[in-house]
Each structure stands twice: as structure tokens, then as C-alpha cells.
Amino acid sequence: MKPYAWSLAFAFILVGPLLGALLAGVDRRLTARMQSRKGPPILQPIYDVLKLFEKDTLVVTQLQTLYLWGFLFFMVIAGFILFLGSDLLLSLFALTVSGIFLCLAAYATNSPYSNIGSSRELMLMMAYEPMLIMVPLGFFLVTGSFRVSDIIAGSPWQVLQLLGILVGFLFVLTIKLRKSPFDLSSSHHGHQELVQGMTTDLSGSDLAIVEIGHWYENVILLGWLYLFFAPWGPWIALPISFVLFFAEVLVDNTNARLKWSSTLKASWLMTGVFGVTNLLLLPVIS
């Protein structure tokens, strides 16, 4: 393992929340501009979390806090594995376990709003997980390895070989970022009829943990997107990744929310049409 890989992995732990907060801040600002508003400062997400740490934390059961720390821990592990250049499939497993802990935390509050939000989040996991699994499988078939370092050192043509999987990943990225039309389990918008879904009954430091976890998640998802273009070099791959990442803001502001059944059908359709088809064609186009 190269020394700079360890440096990058530890940098993710330390700097990841800051970068994730900046991504969230830019997201809010772009959303405001699209709605003809000035919008909050770029650093507003950081200010919000600092305020949460100053507020009282209403704990329904100690289990909710334990589960939330599990959510944050496995989110950090997922990113650490990714930026260490290690196994992408293992990073995905850690990311999935993190999401399950968040659902358990919502269930632990015994609130109808949180329980419904958690049920919807589990349904969304059923929708996006098959497509997420296609990503490391596609990279494995192209590079012969699940290791992130091998993927980065792969062929510049791999993004074309995995174009269908890239399209499918961009589709489920909207779900992972909890944006319309798939903001079913929780939402940053005021129109959410379930108040705040899974996080309705979380407050103070507990809610701050969730926000920090989402900041880490933003960076991880951006890192996954970067892998498709990584062989082109960071000066080309990073700008393309940022453009595609923030294109989700446009999707968020131009689509009404779907029903859970429509979300599930659309996700599996995209997985089959783009993900599975791409995998089946790889022996031909490689």
C-alpha cells in the first residue's frame, strides 16, 4: 500500500466532513438560484450543525444514539476503504450497513413518522442497491480487480465500456442524495408531508451526527463518480465529476416526487436496461 494512499484515507476522515458540508452548501445555493432566491451562505450547513450541538438532545431511547454512532462509524469506514484504494465492493458493504443503522435509529424512536420514513428508506435501499452492486461488478469485469487503485490505473476507455452502468448510477445517485423525485424517506424541503421522515424525532447532537454522516456520504458518492473518469487524470476527471454531481440539483428542482411503487419500478427498470445490459455486452465491447 503506497504511503499517499494512507494519507488520503486519513485526510478523508479529517477533511471529509468539511468537503461534504461545502458540497451541501453549494447545493443549497444552486437550488436557491434556480428558484430566483439569493440563498444561504455556502458555510450555512456548518453553522446549522454547530447550532445543533448547542441544543438539547431529546432521547427517546439510548438505542437511537447507539445506532446513530453505528451509522456514522460505518460511513467513515466505507469512505476510508474507498480512499485507501482498497476493495470497492467492501466499501459498498460498509455503506449499506451504515444505511441500515440509520433505519434502526429511526425505528427506535417508536414514532409513526419516523417508522414510516424508515420503512420507505428500506424500500429505497431495495431500489438502489442492485444498481450499486453493478458498479463494482462492472469495474471488475473491465479491470479484473475490485481494488480502487487498480480501477484508477485502468484504461481511459473504461468509461465508454461502462457507459450504461454510469447512466444507471447517476439515476440511483438521485435516490442516494434524497432528492426529488425520490425524496420519500426524508427531505430537506418544506413540502415533505412526513415532516422530516426518518429524522423527525431526532434533535440536538443526534441530528448533528446524521448531518455529518450525510456529509461523509456526499464525498463517498462523489468519489464513486470520480472512478469512472479517474484514468483520464484528476484535472479532467474532477471537473466532470463535479458537473455530473451538481446536475442532481437540476433534477431535484424540476421533478415532482414519485410514489414509492413508481420509484421501485423505475429503479429496477434502469438497473435492468442499463446495468444488466451493460454487463452482458462487456465481453463484446471489451
pLDDT digits (tens, 9 = 90+) for 69-121: 999 999 999 999 999 999 999 999 999 999 999 999 888 887 787 888 888 88
What pLDDT is attached to residue 195?
A: 55
- Does the pLDDT of residue 254 top 80, yes or no? no
pLDDT digits (tens, 9 = 90+) for 28-55: 898 888 888 888 889 999 999 999 988 8
Burial (CB count within 10 angstroms: exposed 0-12, middle 13-18, buried 19+), residue 90: middle
With CA atoms as reference, report the closest residue to 260 among 125, 130, 129, 131: 125
Helical pair 204-229 and 3-34, crossing angle rounded to 10 deg:
110
What pLDDT is attached to residue 43?
A: 92
Listed by start position, the domains of the chain span: 3-285
Question: Phi first, then psi: what are they for 100, rounded to 5°?
Answer: -65, -40
Chain centroid to CA 64: how far? 21
pLDDT digits (tens, 9 = 90+) for 174-226: 888 888 777 776 765 544 544 567 777 788 888 899 999 999 999 999 999 99
In whole angstroms, what is the distance from residue 284 CA to residue 286 CA? 6
Give the pLDDT band (50/70/90) at residue 1: low
Task: Decide if 47 contacts 67 (C-beta within 8 A).
Answer: no
